[in-house]
Structure 1
Amino acid sequence: MLSKLSPKGQGTNTHKALEFMKKNIFHNSSSSNTPQIAVIVTDGSSHNPQLTREYAETLKAMGVEIYTIGVGNDVNVEELDVISSYPNYEHVYLINDLKNVPQSMEALVSLTNLVCTGN
């Protein structure tokens, strides 16, 4: 499925992804007993670091657990740390080569299943 994705223009608009999640996916998350988990996959630095930070902090305050996956060599690791939930070592993943994305996603799916089911 990931291999079928193609870029939608230029740049890294991480804040737009976080804004979309806040408005369309997690807008009522505080009233749910279901774990709220977001995964951000990026290959660079956000064009608007301030808005990225603000939306990430808002989502985390709403109870959303945020994981980040940085792909490639141009990833801003400090920004991934800011976006991700704490502790960072459990929520930030770095992938240097696109060939490793499927295995990393499988590991993340397993982790998500563990969080959601307790098994």
Structure 2
Amino acid sequence: MRTELLFSGLLVFLFVSNVEVDGSLQKLTYTRWINLLRYAHGQLQRESPSPHESHLPRAEQVETIATAIYRHFFNVVFDLVATEDGRRLLPRSFPVDFLIMLDSSASIGSENFQLALQIITTWIQVLDEENFINDALRVSMISFSEPSKVIHEFSFTSGLDKAGVIDRINSTEYHDGKSTSTVQALWMADSIFTKQSREGVTRVMLLLTDGWSHNQLALPFGVLWPSARLRLQHNVNVYVVGIGDQVNHNELESIASNPDDEHLFEVEDYSMMLEILERIESLDSLE
């Protein structure tokens, strides 16, 4: 059973003073509530095989994942509009606040970090310039490594055009932290959507990471609580890209929105992710 579903159920229990157990009502005490949450958190640390492990040739993997990301991200959050000059991706119904979370821990290394920045800028390049006019799309970004290096790189800024967003992404420094503070970064994302995001907009978050989170016990219940708040309280569509073979699939699954195959994508390396985005740029339409 997916840990996120277990945790979502436990959130409901938080607001209920009595629960039915074996046909009788029993008080859900604070201790029981804490123990249930600790159990859910513990499930994240159990190893599980990735559903995206594949023995397909690399080119076929690139095509499959590119198609999935295009269909479930670009063609859901945005609308494919045909013009004389080709396709354009514009916000589907409402303005979009788009938050990027980028892992900058030591496991990445400076070379891969530069590739990660290139991945993000390519992701932005796929979108049409018109998205940035009249604040139809606003972008913000967090980079994170160890707790003291969880950094809000730039905010949702009105009037920032596409070139300005790309310049801010490219100016991000590699902080080379010794751990991966995903939990603290998720709480920062919660604060950003609470204080800076607009009402009545589509809220989207993209997380890129290559490893397990650390400092799980520094904040209660690890990634579970902030992830649930993002999805359920702030109504954020959370997309996750896990890169390499060291990711904790259970953890990424608990962060991403449902269903997993539309919000969680796992790739072999940073170069493959660039290949995927280059393929997305060449796609004209998807049925």
Q: Aligned pair in 2 of structure 1 residues 28, 106: CA closer, same or farther (>3 Å)?
A: farther
Q: Structure 1 residues 6-15 or 66-75, which shifts more? A: 6-15
2:186 matched residue in structure 1: 18
Distance in 2 (alpha carbons) for counterparts of 1:105 and 1:17:
25
Q: Aligned pair in 2 of structure 1 residues 30, 23: CA closer, same or farther (>3 Å)?
A: closer
**How is 1:43-82 mapped onto 2 (pairs within 5 angstroms)?**
43-47=210-214, 48=216, 50-61=221-232, 62-82=234-254
2:203 matched residue in structure 1: 36
Q: Aligned pair in 2 of structure 1 residues 93, 80: CA closer, same or farther (>3 Å)?
A: same
- For residues 34-81 of structure 1, give each alpha carbon's deviation from its aligned partner in whole angstroms, at most 9, with x where no partner exists: 110011111111111722111000111120111111011100111111
Contact 1:12/1:43 (CA < 8 Å) preserved in 2?
no
Q: In structure 2, the residue corresponding to 1:51 is in which secondary structure?
A: coil
- For residues 79-115 of structure 1, give each alpha carbon's deviation from its aligned partner in whole angstroms, at most 9, with x where no partner exists: 1110000001100011111112224456789xxxxxx
Q: In structure 2, the residue corresponding to 1:8 is in which secondary structure?
A: coil
Q: Aligned pair in 2 of structure 1 residues 29, 84: CA closer, same or farther (>3 Å)?
A: farther
1:112 matched residue in structure 2: none
Structure whose residues are more often strand by fraction: 2
Q: What is the aligned counterpart of 1:96 among 268, 278, 282?
A: 268
Query: Which stretches in structure 2 are left out of the alignment for 5+ residues?
Result: 1-113, 119-169, 282-287
Distance in 2 (alpha carbons) for counterparts of 1:108 and 1:54:
33
Identity %: 27
How far does residue 6 in structure 1 lie from its aligned partner after superposition?
Answer: 2.5
Counterpart residue type for residue 43 of structure 1: D
User: With structure 2 as the length reference, what TM-score do the two structures score?
Assistant: 0.34
- Aligned positions, number: 108
User: With structure 1 as the length reference, what TM-score do the two structures score?
Assistant: 0.76
Distance in 1 (alpha carbons) for counterparts of 2:261 and 2:276:
15
Q: Aligned pair in 2 of structure 1 residues 58, 96: CA closer, same or farther (>3 Å)?
A: same
Distance in 1 (alpha carbons) for counterparts of 2:201 and 2:261:
23
Counterpart residue type for residue 39 of structure 1: L
